A and B are shown apart, each in its own frame.
Chain A
């Protein structure tokens, strides 16, 4: 592959724009936040971030999902940690989310709207009880 120019990158963006407009996505936006503190990095958070980007796009959700990095979430013992904020679902912090679980995270939580019970380490209990 030859080096891409910025102009080629802009054109590629136009070509790959999916049918979903920004307006249609509003209110349905999902946020996936990867903890990238020293603890997260040591446990493979960089690879997790990469794998989540790939899995989200492979599932066709590229325009609907915001992927961010943050520092340590305070759960150093179960890094890498990933917080998911999705409409209609409790906000969850998953732990032990190595890159091997990125696809499962996307398929189960983002597509099927089910929680990954074995990886929940914070936030879900109160919301689930209400529901």
Chain B
């Protein structure tokens, strides 16, 4: 199991990026009732059978690691959400893309801590690939949007450590606006 909310989000987004998408979008909504997350991609998608098997921890499509027999991302999420009394759903279509939605209620002691949101967004934006990523964040301090291509252009790419430090400062300013 993962420790924080951001770990689940990053894990699901990693799946989205590995599906070969042109665009990945992430919605992270925080209300008094809890966190709601939607991750969408227009990558390869799954058939109904593959989607059902993706929830089996002892199944993986074998494309990333030929000898590996487990795939834990979605099973971890489903287990954690159900433990906390939240909800999750996955929609996918082969050749069209995948949408994963989940919510953790704030009233449950089993909901994971939110953690550092700027660190989560830094990790999301730096996931490898040429895809576009759109992050929409709404929370107690208002809402904002992040677009990967714009930020990459502004800081001079998303790989050099100096650029990543600048990007982190920007993300902190967006999240903790006084």
- Seen from chain A, the residues whose Cβ lies within 8 Å of a Cβ on chain B are 1-4, 6, 9-10, 12-13, 16, 18, 36-39, 41-42, 44, 46-47, 49-50, 52-54, 56-57, 61-72, 74
Report chain B residues within 8 Å CB of A9: 151, 154-155, 166-167, 170
Q: Is the CB of A54 within 8 A of B165?
A: yes
> Which of A1, A41, A57 sits near B2, CB closer than 8 Å?
A41
Q: Is the CB of B65 within 8 A of A72?
A: yes
Chain A-chain B contacts (Cβ-Cβ < 8 Å), number:
120
Report chain B residues within 8 Å CB of A42: 1-3, 7, 76
Report chain B residues within 8 Å CB of A16: 162, 166
Question: Measured between alpha carbons, how far is A42 from B72 in the docked complex, in Å?
Answer: 10
Q: List 5 A-B contacts (CB under 8 A).
A: A1-B176, A36-B123, A38-B72, A52-B161, A56-B161
Instruction: List the 8 shortest-distance A-B pairs measured between CB atoms, nearest first.
Output: A62-B162, A56-B161, A4-B173, A57-B165, A65-B161, A3-B177, A62-B161, A9-B154
From residue 122 to 178 of chain B, which have CB atoms closer than 8 A to chain A?
A: 122-123, 126-128, 144, 150-151, 154-156, 159-170, 172-174, 176-178
Shortest Cβ gap from A22 to chain B (Å): 9
Question: Which residue of the partner chain A has the closest CB to B157?
Answer: A66
- Seen from chain B, the residues whose Cβ lies within 8 Å of a Cβ on chain A are 1-3, 6-7, 10-11, 14, 18, 64-65, 68, 71-73, 76, 116, 119-120, 122-123, 126-128, 144, 150-151, 154-156, 159-170, 172-174, 176-178
Shortest Cβ gap from B169 to chain A (Å): 7
Question: Measured between alpha carbons, how far is A46 from B122 in the docked complex, in Å?
Answer: 9
Shortest Cβ gap from B138 to chain A (Å): 14
> Which of B68, B72, B161 sits near A53, CB closer than 8 Å?
B161
Report chain A residues within 8 Å CB of B165: 53-54, 57, 62
Given A1-B173, A61-B161, A74-B65, answer yes or no on A10-B154 (Cβ-Cβ < 8 Å): yes
Report chain A residues within 8 Å CB of B120: 46
Question: Measured between alpha carbons, how far is A2 from B141 in the docked complex, in Å?
Answer: 12
Q: Is the CB of A6 within 8 A of B154?
A: yes
Question: Which residue of the partner chain A has the closest CB to B150?
Answer: A6
Question: Measured between alpha carbons, how far is A63 from B159 in the docked complex, in Å?
Answer: 10
Question: Measured between alpha carbons, how far is A65 from B159 in the docked complex, in Å?
Answer: 8
Given A46-B6, A46-B123, A63-B162, answer yes or no on A38-B173 (Cβ-Cβ < 8 Å): no
Q: Is the CB of A12 within 8 A of B166?
A: yes
Shortest Cβ gap from A43 to chain B (Å): 9
Which of A1, A2, A61, A65 has the most C-beta atoms of chain B within 10 angstroms of its own C-beta? A1
Question: Which residue of the partner chain B has the closest CB to A51?
Answer: B119
Question: Measured between alpha carbons, how far is A67 from B10 in the docked complex, in Å?
Answer: 17
Question: Measured between alpha carbons, how far is A87 from B2 in the docked complex, in Å?
Answer: 35
Report chain A residues within 8 Å CB of B159: 66-68
